Amino acid sequence: MFRFLTSHRDFGLFWGAILCVNLAVQIEAVTIGWQIYAMARTTRSVYESAFMVGMVGLAQFVPLFILTLFAGTLADRVSRRAIVLVSVGVEALCALALAILAFQPDHWFGSIFAIAAIFGAARAFLSPAATALTPMLVPRSEMPQAISLKSLGWQASVIVGPWIGGMLVAISAGAAYLGAVALYLLGCLIILRMRTNTTPARQAGNALTLIREGLIYVWSNKIILGAISLDLFAVLLGGVTALLPAFAADVLDVGPNGFGLLRSGPAVGATLMAIALARWPLKRHAGTRMLWSVAAFGLATLVFALSRNIYLSMLALAVLGAADMISVYVRQTLVQIVTPDHMRGRVSSVSGLFIAGSNELGEFESGVVARFLGPVGAAVLGGVGTLIVTGTWAWGFPDLRKADRLDAIPPELETEETLPPHAKITPAS
């Protein structure tokens, strides 16, 4: 790992910067979730408080949904490094604003939701630029290892970040937000040290034409479409992140420190699975294994919903995270290797929009369902829904079900731009 990071200097710097940013995001997410729930519980029921936490996800998703496709087009026109730098800077300002609010005697839900919306807008530009930047920093042949390292870095941040966030929240929400600010700024300083030219070849056409090209590319490749849409609906229905404050405070009664541990649970399982995939990568039957992993995600969600023991709950969350890691691995490998560089920003924005829908919009969905069924009922419904989605996608996307190898481009996805130089087809003389 360290040899790879040092042998590719700018990728190593980028990996370290994104690690800092992801740690900050996790600390901020834990803090804002706990703060909103604690504020709501002073005057509202458990059901209503869980709904308010879900509203944070909606506040972030709306600007992300509006801007992501345009952000992907921008990432195919200008320096991707510059986009990442500006986006992280805006996120640092959002965390600073939240810290200032937290130290005020009176702060309002509306102010926090407004800052969350600005944060969502910054993420809309950061995600496609950062995703499309990676293939510019390493050779194509070493992309699978780079993707594995990025996944490990992300999962490490999801393990450590909530734990740090939980400890800082126990001190004060303001302290937690200031910790996030420091990490965002450190990420910016590291990005400034990168020297690789990260500006793609400029594409002709207006923004709407370029967006249309990206959407057509994703739609025409049913394996990619099936993989990212499966992830969307599985996590949209089965995600329990927004419900964790309610489970920690009122179902399992483990407080803020226990909340941080619960937030880390999925990442523990995902990290172990990422290490296993790096050591024993999927070589055959990738589509079938992905479908089975999503089914396991749904079953683990059901176990978590019905558990009243913190250890069993953490185990269920770890299994959930490990299953989700397989889906992430398959999806990212296909998207990064198959997509030509001049379209990576747009295709990454489409994929990112699906991911955002499953995360931020999934939190909103969980909050709405919890408003009527309670947190336990919402988690049970989510687990059942995920199992139904898995069966539906296995039937509706036969190409995904039949997808076999991840170490080579599937024949149905091969084009002149995706084939390596020695394999490109030349016309007969």
Asked if residue 203 is part of any domain, the answer here is no
Residue 424 within a domain: no
Where is mean pLDDT largest: 9-18, 30-39, 328-337? 9-18
Within 10 angstroms of residue 315's Cβ, the number of other Cβ atoms is: 18
307 three-state secondary structure:
coil
Other Cβ atoms less than 10 A from the Cβ of 107: the count is: 16
Question: What's residue 218's pLDDT?
Answer: 80
Alpha carbon distance, N-terminus to C-terminus of the chain: 47
Residue with tokens 């990996």: 15
Average pLDDT score over the chain: 81
234 domain-assigned = yes
Q: Is residue 202 in a domain?
A: no
Q: Which residue has the higher pLDDT, 51 or 126?
A: 126
What is the predicted pLDDT for the residue at 411? Answer: 47
Going by pLDDT thresholds of 50, 70 and 90, the confidence category of residue 421 is: very low
Q: Quick check: is 426 in a domain? A: no
Q: How confident is the model at residue 417 (pLDDT cuts 50, 70, 90)?
A: very low
Q: Average the pLDDT over each of 35-39, 217-221, 338-342, 424-428 and give the range with the smallest value.
A: 424-428
Q: Write out the two tokens for 175.
A: 């302290």
Closest Cα to residue 10, out of 194, 139, 143, 199?
194
Distances (CA, A) of 351 to 153, 194, 199: 20, 26, 21
| Position 338 pLDDT exceeds 70 | no
The residue-averaged pLDDT of 337-352 equals 72
Q: Is a pLDDT exceeding 60 seen at residue 94?
A: yes
In this prediction, residues 265-281 reach a mean pLDDT of: 81
CB 124 within 8 A of CB 68: yes
Answer whether residue 163 is part of any domain.
yes
What are the distances in angstroms from CA 154 to CA 114, 157, 161, 217, 328? 26, 5, 10, 27, 11
317 touches 259 (CB < 8 A): no
Most confident of 290-299, 401-410, 413-422: 290-299
Instruction: Count CB neighbours of 70 within 10 A.
Output: 18
Top-confidence residue, 417 or 350 = 350
Cα separation of 217 and 345, whole Å?
Answer: 12
User: Among residues 313, 310, 315, which one has the least CA distance to residue 253?
Assistant: 310
Q: Is 429 within a domain?
A: no
Q: Which two tokens stand for residue 106?
A: 């009176």
Distance CA 383, CA 32 (A): 25
The span from the CA of 171 to the CA of 77, in Å, is: 44
Distances in whole angstroms, Cα of residue 429 to Cα of each of 56, 194, 420, 422, 423: 62, 45, 21, 18, 17
Would you say residue 332 has pLDDT above 80? no
In terms of residue numbers, what domain contains 173? 2-194+208-419
pLDDT at 390 over 80: yes
- pLDDT band of residue 414 (cuts 50, 70, 90) is very low
Angle at 330 between CA 327 and CA 335, to 5 degrees: 120
Domain count, the chain: 1
Q: Is the pLDDT of residue 30 over 70?
A: yes
Mean of the pLDDT values across residues 278-294?
A: 79
* Residue 253: pLDDT over 70: yes
Kindly tell me if the per-residue pLDDT of 23 is higher than 90. yes
Q: What is the pLDDT of residue 335?
A: 67
Q: Does residue 49 form part of some domain?
A: yes
Instruction: Give the H or E element holding residue 79.
Output: none
The answer to whether residue 118 scores a pLDDT higher than 90 is yes
Largest CA distance in the chain: 79
Amino acid identity of residue 156, one-letter, is A
pLDDT at 418 over 50: no
Q: What is the CA radius of gyration of the chain?
A: 21
CA distance 48 to 314: 25
Which helix (DSSP H) or strand (DSSP E) does residue 94 occupy? Answer: helix 80-102
Q: What angle do CA 27, 129, 415 make, to 5 degrees?
A: 135
pTM for the full model? 0.71
pLDDT above 90 coverage of the chain, percent:
22
For the chain, give the percent of residues with pLDDT over 70. Answer: 85
Give per-residue pLDDT as tens, 180-212. 999 999 999 999 999 988 888 776 667 777 788
Q: Is 378 helix (H, G, I), strand (E, B) or coil?
A: helix
Residue 308 one-letter amino acid: R
- Report the range of poorest mean pLDDT among 91-105, 156-170, 232-246, 264-278: 232-246
* Residue 334: per-residue pLDDT: 66
Residues 36-47: what's their mean pLDDT? 79
Rounded Cα distance between 40 and 394, Å, is 41
Say which CATH number the domain at 243 has: 1.20.1250.20
User: Which of these, 180, 217, 181, lies nearest to 413 by C-alpha position?
Assistant: 217
Q: Which H/E stretch holds residue 188?
A: helix 173-191
